[in-house]
């Protein structure tokens, strides 16, 4: 059921809306004049990410764990709730699976009941350690089902399966996007993701930790580009379900990122190497042909521009005074 509010705005539920990506999505939707209901249990998200929205008359926050049933009358659901960084999703892997499986069933049950469109924020991790590059949506992946990342990778794969089965069996109007590494302000300081790690280490004058030899590549998409892709996906006609890759196809080695961060922060920190964690993929690069063709979407923000934004954010967050550099100690 579509409930039109004044000015053609929609009621939109964002699960995981207090997280890094979810909070930017809430900002975007509010700015478009929509009425946003943010549901989050604050496991890896924070009220700080949505504090500026809490007094907004079109914004509502509900603290709720989506592995428990939830009901609301909305027109669209963006389903993002799930811890995204290994530190967070491996903290309680069983909970991660519950969030992905029971949480997605709850959201699909809701979408079915109220006949709303639902978008799942899936992940490039469904490709596991891929044997084809770049990864197209048709690639089925190479995932370890019993490893320490499986709660997340396999959890998201089941979430995608659930989306497709609710669509085929019950005609639920679904959209699936597979998000590749995304960065931007409001990434958590201590979540162990490579960009936040490097920036925080550089600003604190600590060594930058590169796992492995640093030749493994990643492609990083700035959060505003990603949010635009998600919104475009929800705006497509109802025959198109996806999955669609959303990410930046420009690959950089981890070492290149570390060097870029050192240059932009003007830090004198050094780069140190540590053993690669288990199941860490060597390469990850999206083929975004589908997004280009179906959504007329491609990332716009170049890496150095995005990095500058995040560095500014973390400087403020750390209240960064000039840090003592290793050379000047003692």
Ligand X SMILES: NC(=O)c1ccc[n+]([C@@H]2O[C@H](COP(=O)([O-])OP(=O)(O)OC[C@H]3O[C@@H](n4cnc5c(N)ncnc54)[C@H](O)[C@@H]3O)[C@@H](O)[C@H]2O)c1
Q: Does 123 bind ligand X (CB under 6 A)?
A: yes
Contact region with ligand X (CB under 6 A), list: 14-22, 165-173, 209-217, 317-325:
14-22
**Does 25 contact ligand X by CB under 6 A?**
no
Identify whether the C-beta of residue 24 lies closer than 8 Å to the C-beta of residue 186: yes
Contact 101, 126 (CB under 8 A): no
Residue found by looking up tokens 């280490």 in the block: 201
Among 14, 38, 82, 285, binds ligand X (CB under 6 A): 82
Closer residue to ligand X in complex, CB, 267/287: 287
Q: Residues 27, 35, 65, 173: which binds ligand X (CB under 6 A)?
A: 65
88 vs 157, beta carbon nearer ligand X: 88
In the chain, DSSP assigns E strands to: 11-15, 35-40, 59-63, 76-79, 117-123, 174-179, 182-183, 208-211, 217-219, 221-222, 244-246, 251-253, 271-274
By CB under 6 A, tell whether 16 contacts ligand X.
yes
Number of residues that bind ligand X (CB under 6 A): 29
Task: Closer to ligand X by CB, 80 or 208: give it.
Answer: 80
216 lies in the site for ligand X, by CB under 6 A: no
**In this chain, which of 11, 12, 83, 202 binds ligand X, going by CB under 6 A?**
83
Taking the least distance from each CB to ligand X, the nearer of 81 and 257 is 81
Judge if the upstream peptide bond of residue 243 is cis by omega within 30 degrees of 0: yes
Residues 122, 82 contacting (CB under 8 angstroms)? no
Work out how close the CB of 161 gets to ligand X at its nearest, in angstroms, rounded to a whole number. 16
The token pair that represents 51 in the structure block: 């504090």
Encoded one letter per residue, x for contact with ligand X by CB under 6 A and - for no contact, window 33-52 reads -------xxxxxx-------
- CA distances from residue 67 to 102, 115, 156, 157, 184 in whole angstroms, order as listed: 5, 20, 14, 17, 27
Member of 38, 143, 179, 233 binding ligand X (CB under 6 A): 179
Distances 174 to 8, 36, 115 between C-alpha atoms, Å: 22, 19, 11
Contact 278, 148 (CB under 8 A): yes
In sequence order, the 6+-apart residues with CB closer than 8 A to the CB of 267 are: 202, 203, 205, 261, 323, 325
* Catalytic residue (one of 78, 127, 152, 166): 152
Query: Does residue 157 contact residue 54 with C-beta atoms inside 8 Å?
Result: no
Question: Does residue 121 belong to the site contacting ligand X (CB under 6 A)?
Answer: yes
Q: Is residue 66 near ligand X by the rule CB under 6 A?
A: yes
What six digits make up the tokens of 96? 């991660």
Instruction: Tell me if residue 28 is catalytic.
Output: no
Binding residue for ligand X, selected from 9, 10, 19, 107, defined by CB under 6 A:
19
Active site residues: 152
Binding residues for ligand X, rule: CB under 6 A, are 15-16, 18-22, 40-45, 65-67, 80-84, 88, 99, 103, 121, 123, 179, 181-182
């Amino acid at each position: 059921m579509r409930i039109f509010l004044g000015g053609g705005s929609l009621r939109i539920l964002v699960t995981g809306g207090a997280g890094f990506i979810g909070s930017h999505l809430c900002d975007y939707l509010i700015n478009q004049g929509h009425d946003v209901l943010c549901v989050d249990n604050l496991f890896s998200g924070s009220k700080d990410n949505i504090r500026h929205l809490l007094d907004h008359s079109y914004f509502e926050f509900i603290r709720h764990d989506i592995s428990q049933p939830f009901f609301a009358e909305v027109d669209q659901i963006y389903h993002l709730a799930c811890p995204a960084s290994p530190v967070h999703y491996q903290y309680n892997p069983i909970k991660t699976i519950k969030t992905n499986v029971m949480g997605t069933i709850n959201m699909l049950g809701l979408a079915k009941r109220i006949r709303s469109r639902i978008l799942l924020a899936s992940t490039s991790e469904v490709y596991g350690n891929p044997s084809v590059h770049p990864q197209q949506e048709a690639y089925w992946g190479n995932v370890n089902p019993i490893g320490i990342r499986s709660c997340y990778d396999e959890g998201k794969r089941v979430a995608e399966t659930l989306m497709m089965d609710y669509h085929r069996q019950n005609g639920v109007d679904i959209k699936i996007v597979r998000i590749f590494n995304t960065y931007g302000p409001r990434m958590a300081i201590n979540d162990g993701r490579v960009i936040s790690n490097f920036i925080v280490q550089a600003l604190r004058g600590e060594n930058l930790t590169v796992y492995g030899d640093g030749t493994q590549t990643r492609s990083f998409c700035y959060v505003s580009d990603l949010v635009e892709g998600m919104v475009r996906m929800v705006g497509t006609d109802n025959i198109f379900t996806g999955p669609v890759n959303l990410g930046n196809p420009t690959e950089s080695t981890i070492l290149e990122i570390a060097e870029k961060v050192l240059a932009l922060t003007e830090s004198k920190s050094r780069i140190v190497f540590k053993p690669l964690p288990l199941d860490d993929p060597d390469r990850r690069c999206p083929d975004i042909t589908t997004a280009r063709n179906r959504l007329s979407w491609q990332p716009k923000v170049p890496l150095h521009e995005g990095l500058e934004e995040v560095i500014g954010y973390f400087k403020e967050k750390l209240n960064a005074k000039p840090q003592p550099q290793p050379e000047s100690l003692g």
